[in-house]
Amino acid sequence: MTAVVVVGAGPVGLSAALAAAAQGLETVLLEARPRGEARPGSRALFVHRATLDRLSGISPGLGEAVAARGLVWTTKRTLWGGRQVYARSYGASVSPPFTSLPQTVVEDLLREACDRAGVVSVWGDAVVSVSPRRDHRVRVRTASGAAYDASYVIAADGARSPVREQVGVSLEGSTEATEFVVVDVAEGPQPAPAERVFHYRHPAADRRNVLLLPFRGGWRVDVQCRPGDDARRIAGDPARWLPGVLPQVPDARVTWVSVYRFQRRIASSFTDATGRVLLAGEAAHLLPPFGARGMNSGITDAVEAARAVQEGNTGEYARRRREAAERNVRAAGAALDHLLARRPGQRVAQRAAAAVAPLWPRAGRWLDAAPYGPRLRSVQY
C-alpha cells in the first residue's frame, strides 16, 4: 500500500509530493495532463522569500535554484492619472525578498526535484474516483483502470477539483462581477528597467487602473475593466492600447491574453470526513492575487499537509490552513475593495491622497500599498 497519493502536478501538487518524499513516505503523483504538455500564460509569477525557504527545506538548494531563474525588481512606482505619487527603490540583497518568474519554470524545477527524490509520477491518467474505506485506506482509481490503495491522499487538482467533489466538500464564497484583462508580453531586445508600476486611472487606458509587473523574460499587464466594459473586446485587440500602456517595450510581442474575475472561495473543510483526504492549493481556496497569496499559500498547504500525514494529525492541518485561508481572503478582499472603490467615500479618499501625496509621503505609500493588501506578518501564506 502506498503511503501518499498526490493528485495534481501543478506547483502545489509537485511540492506536496516532494515534501512527502522528504518525510520518507512512499509517494505516487498522479496527473491528468501528459508530461511536458505546454501550459499557456505566465500564471502565478511571484514567489515569496518564505516560500523559497520552504522549497529548500524539502529539497536542499531548490529555493536558491528558483530564485536564480527569476527576477527581482528593485523599484516600485505608483501613478495617478499619469502623475507619479509614490516611488521607492531597494538595494541589492544577497537573500532576495522574492523572485518573479513564470509558474511553468517553477514547475519544471519542481518536477526535476521530484525525479531526483524518487517520486513515482504517472502522467496522462486522470483520477476518476476517490473512495475512503473503513480499513483506513483510500482507494484511488484512474481513467486507465489503474487502482491505488493509499493511507492518505493530498488533492492539489485545482479550482475544479474532482477529488473535492468526490469526497463531498463544497467550495464556498463569491465571484467578483468586475472583469480584468491580463496580457503577457515578451521582453524586448533591449530589456527595460525592472520596475513594478501601478497606474490609477491610466490616461492611455481610458482611465482604467493598470498594473505592470516585470518577470524573468517578460511583462504582465493587468487592466481593471469598468462596469459595462466589454472585456473580451479589450482582450481581443491589445495592439490598440498596449503601446500607450507599456512604452517600455516597443513593438511588444503578446504571448498570452486572458479575461478573468477574482474569486474569494474557501473549502467547507480542508479534509474529508475521515481525515484521510487533504485538500491543498486551489482545491482548498481561491484568492484574489493581491499579495501573491495564491501559489505561495498553496505551497505552504503542501508542506504542511505532508507533515500532517507523517504525524497523523490531519485535523490540525485542516484547522490551521483554513484559518490561514480565511485571513488571506480577508486581506486580499480588503485590497480588492480598495482597488474597485465602489463607494463614493473611497473614491474621495483616493483622490485626496493623490492630491496631497507630493507634500505628504504617507498618502503616496497608502496608494501604493493598498492594491496589494495589508502585510500579515503573523500569517504563513
What is the DSSP secondary-structure string of 211-257? EEEEETTEEEEEEEPPTT--HHHHHH-HHHHHHHH-TTSTT--EEEE
Is the CB of residue 188 less than 8 Å from the CB of residue 217? no
| 377 pLDDT above the threshold of 60 | no
Mean pLDDT of 217-230: 93
Q: In this predicted model, what pLDDT tens digit does every residue of 158-178 receive, in sequence order? A: 999 999 999 999 999 999 888
Q: In this predicted model, what pLDDT tens digit does every residue of 106-160 receive, in sequence order? A: 999 999 999 999 999 999 999 999 999 878 899 999 999 999 999 999 999 999 9
Between these two residues, 43 and 343, which has the higher pLDDT value?
A: 343
How confident is the model at residue 176, as a pLDDT?
A: 87
How confident is the model at residue 197, as a pLDDT?
A: 94
Return the percent helix, strand and coil in the chain, to nearest 5: 40, 30, 30
How confident is the model at residue 381, as a pLDDT?
A: 63
Q: What is the grid cell recorded at 281? A: 492549493
Between these two residues, 80 and 288, which has the higher pLDDT value?
A: 80
379 band by pLDDT with thresholds 50, 70 and 90: very low
Which of 72-81, 185-194, 275-284, 309-318 is the least confident region? 185-194
| 372 pLDDT above the threshold of 70 | no
43 band by pLDDT with thresholds 50, 70 and 90: confident
Mean pLDDT of 4-23: 97
Residue ranges and CATH numbers for the domains of the chain are 2-72+94-173+263-332 (3.50.50.60)
* Maximum Cα interatomic distance, the chain, rounded to a whole number of Å: 69
Query: DSSP for 66-84?
Result: HHHHSB---EEEEEETTEE
| 373 pLDDT above the threshold of 70 | no
How confident is the model at residue 378, as a pLDDT?
A: 42
Q: Which amino acid is at 38?
A: A
How confident is the model at residue 355, as a pLDDT?
A: 96
Angle (CA) 54-37-294 rounded to 5° is: 35
| 274 pLDDT above the threshold of 70 | yes
In terms of C-beta density within 10 A (0-12 exposed, 13-18 middle, 19 or more buried), how is residue 122 classed? Answer: middle
* pTM to 2 decimal places: 0.94
How confident is the model at residue 376, as a pLDDT?
A: 46
In terms of C-beta density within 10 A (0-12 exposed, 13-18 middle, 19 or more buried), how is residue 190 classed? Answer: exposed
How confident is the model at residue 380, as a pLDDT?
A: 54
Q: In this predicted model, what pLDDT tens digit does every residue of 73-114 receive, in sequence order? A: 889 999 999 999 999 998 766 678 889 999 999 999 999 999
How confident is the model at residue 10, as a pLDDT?
A: 95
